[in-house]
Amino acid sequence: MHTRCPRQFSPQLLTFSPDIDECRTVPDACRGDMQCVNQNGGYLCIPRGLYTIVEREPAYSDTSRGYPEAEPYPLPPPPGPVAPSYPIVSRSAPCILGYTLSEDGTCNDIDECVTDSHQCNPTQVCINTAGGYTCSCTEGYWLVGGQCQDIDECRYGYCQQLCANVPGSYSCSCNPGFTLNPDSRTCQDVDECADEPCSHGCFNTYGSYMCNCDEGFELASDGTTCNDLNECGFSEFLCQHRCVNTPGSFQCHCPGGYYLYEDGRSCEDINECETGNNTCTTAQVCFNFQGGYTCLDQLKCDPPYIELSDNQCMCSSENPACRDRPFTILYRHMDLSSGRSVPADIFQMQATTRYPGAFYIFQIKGPGNEGREFYMRQTSNVSATLVLSRPIKGPRVLVLDLEMVTVNNVINFRGSSIIRLTIYVSEYPF
Ligand SMILES: [Ca+2]
Ligand SMILES: [Ca+2]
Ligand SMILES: [Ca+2]
Ligand SMILES: [Ca+2]
């Protein structure tokens, strides 16, 4: 029988015409894990392992699908064989299978998809081909047992972090601290520090970030703000006198009469007599002590005493009024820190003249030692030490008369002299 169909549309003639094997000639005809299967007049890309041999026209084509071709992921086991579909046509038709005779006598391809003469499964999509048709699955589905089933992309690790499978597709998302890349699959760390979430320092980390604080601050429980450290609360010994907390630091303060030493913590007495920052007149003598100073008036000896030197009064033995009075009164000044540990030797006195056969008695006389903070300890025949025996609290000014009695029994002599010691006790133990 003669047909007037164009030669190139005749499947019978195609069978005999030399087909080009694109799978051999075209480099990378199929990408990824797709296997190239040569066809008459073309080739197919199908997932590897599904078919080892494809005969004639396959019952389905997967070339339109993007996933398995683009992404080399493992695939499920191959489905069962699918019967090729051909339209049923009358043997008496003048055209070959799949073609129909038109009014002008030519054979035209039957669009089985339009004429509804295909046998594609309802889940499948019919694609018309020259002389036949194929049943295919839409994107996101694959053929399993003749049915198009959703590909569970999550099962095959399409997403780097979080995956949600949906019919025909999937969607990736990321854990907190990550953002989805433009490829919609991989995730990248968010640089949270770019938004300056920390009140002080910020360190970006993979999947998170960390705040830190400047010196003198500590991280609050919210992990981002910094609270001042109250250094003064750490130790009461941080400052010698008073600690004042400041944001990020602390400051030591000293009482009046002191300056803050260069260590920033201890207090040193201001020597007002040396700095000149005092109110003493030229007639007075400036006496410095811990935390203050005093101006000593020029010595005036009360009669019958007469002035012997700048700091000593004398009562002449020739003066009857001087009988039973100390021969000399020597004026001395010293300072003493409050709370000084006891016992402490604080003052030494010594006989300056030694009479043959004489001995000496040292004692504290008069007011000034009512609290019995002091006693005299004789250290030799001619010397004694004033000992502080009880803690003493300032500010106080004490005046002690330290008496040295000279006794000479050979010549029946008894006389005394006094050191009038003024002690300035500071308010603070420094
Ligand atoms: Ca899916
Ligand atoms: Ca981060
Ligand atoms: Ca502080
Ligand atoms: Ca001073």
**Ligand 2 centroid, distance to 205 Cα (angstroms):** 4
Tell me how many degrees the CA angle 406-410-415 measures, rounded to the nearest 5: 20
List, by residue range, all CATH 2.60.40.60 domains of the chain: 300-425
Which residues, 6 or more positions from 294, have their beta carbon under 8 angstroms from its beta carbon?
A: 286, 287, 424
**Ligand 4 centroid, distance to 368 Cα (angstroms):** 23
Say what the pLDDT of residue 366 is. Answer: 79
Q: Which ligand is nearest to the CA of 335?
A: 4
Q: Which ligand is nearest to the CA of 154?
A: 1
Which residues, 6 or more positions from 3, have their beta carbon under 8 angstroms from its beta carbon?
A: 10, 94, 95, 96, 107
pTM: 0.57
Alpha helical stretches, state H, 169-229: none
**Ligand 3 centroid, distance to 223 Cα (angstroms):** 19
Contact 278, 272 (CB under 8 A): yes
- State how beta strands 328-336 and 413-425 pair: parallel
- pLDDT tens, the chain, 430 aa long: 343 333 333 333 233 335 667 677 767 766 665 677 776 556 666 655 544 433 344 344 444 333 333 333 444 444 444 555 655 555 455 788 888 888 888 888 888 899 888 888 888 889 999 888 888 898 899 988 888 999 999 999 999 999 999 999 999 999 999 999 999 999 999 999 999 999 999 999 999 999 999 999 999 999 999 999 999 999 989 999 999 999 999 999 999 999 999 999 999 999 999 999 999 999 999 999 999 999 999 999 999 999 999 899 999 888 999 988 999 999 999 999 998 899 999 999 998 776 778 899 999 997 889 889 999 999 998 999 999 999 999 899 999 999 999 998 888 888 899 999 999 999 999 9
**Ligand 3 centroid, distance to 263 Cα (angstroms):** 18
Say what the pLDDT of residue 78 is. Answer: 43
Name the token pair of 20. 């080009």
DSSP secondary structure letter of residue 400: E
**Ligand 1 centroid, distance to 22 Cα (angstroms):** 31
**Ligand 3 centroid, distance to 282 Cα (angstroms):** 47
CATH number of 192-228: 2.10.25.10
CA distance 44 to 38: 6
**Ligand 1 centroid, distance to 65 Cα (angstroms):** 13
**Ligand 3 centroid, distance to 203 Cα (angstroms):** 24
Q: Which ligand is nearest to the CA of 216?
A: 3
**Ligand 4 centroid, distance to 364 Cα (angstroms):** 28
Q: Which ligand is nearest to the CA of 210?
A: 2
Q: Which residues surround ligand 4, an ion (CB under 5 A)?
A: 269, 288, 293
**Ligand 1 centroid, distance to 261 Cα (angstroms):** 77
**Does the domain formed by 300-425 have CATH 2.60.40.60?**
yes
Q: Which ligand is nearest to the CA of 293?
A: 4
* Cis amide linkage into residue 343, ω under 30° from 0: yes
Q: Which ligand is nearest to the CA of 174?
A: 2
Contact 225, 213 (CB under 8 A): no
Record: fold of 154-189: Laminin (2.10.25)
Say what the pLDDT of residue 43 is. Answer: 62
Neighbours of 379 (CB within 10 A): 14
Q: Which ligand is nearest to the CA of 428?
A: 4
Closest CA to 390 of 402, 369, 374: 374
Say what the pLDDT of residue 120 is. Answer: 86
Contact 133, 59 (CB under 8 A): no
**Ligand 4 centroid, distance to 242 Cα (angstroms):** 19
Q: Which ligand is nearest to the CA of 167?
A: 1
Say what the pLDDT of residue 39 is. Answer: 67
Q: Which ligand is nearest to the CA of 208?
A: 2
Q: Which residues surround ligand 3, an ion (CB under 5 A)?
A: 228-229, 245
Say what the pLDDT of residue 33 is. Answer: 59
**Ligand 4 centroid, distance to 290 Cα (angstroms):** 5
Say what the pLDDT of residue 93 is. Answer: 55
Task: Name the β-bridge partners of 165.
Answer: 170
List, by residue range, all CATH 2.10.25.10 domains of the chain: 154-189, 192-228, 231-269
Closest CA to 136 of 75, 71, 69, 59: 59
Class in CATH terms, 231-269? mainly beta
**Ligand 2 centroid, distance to 175 Cα (angstroms):** 11
Q: Which ligand is nearest to the CA of 215?
A: 3
Contact 372, 326 (CB under 8 A): no
**Ligand 2 centroid, distance to 84 Cα (angstroms):** 55
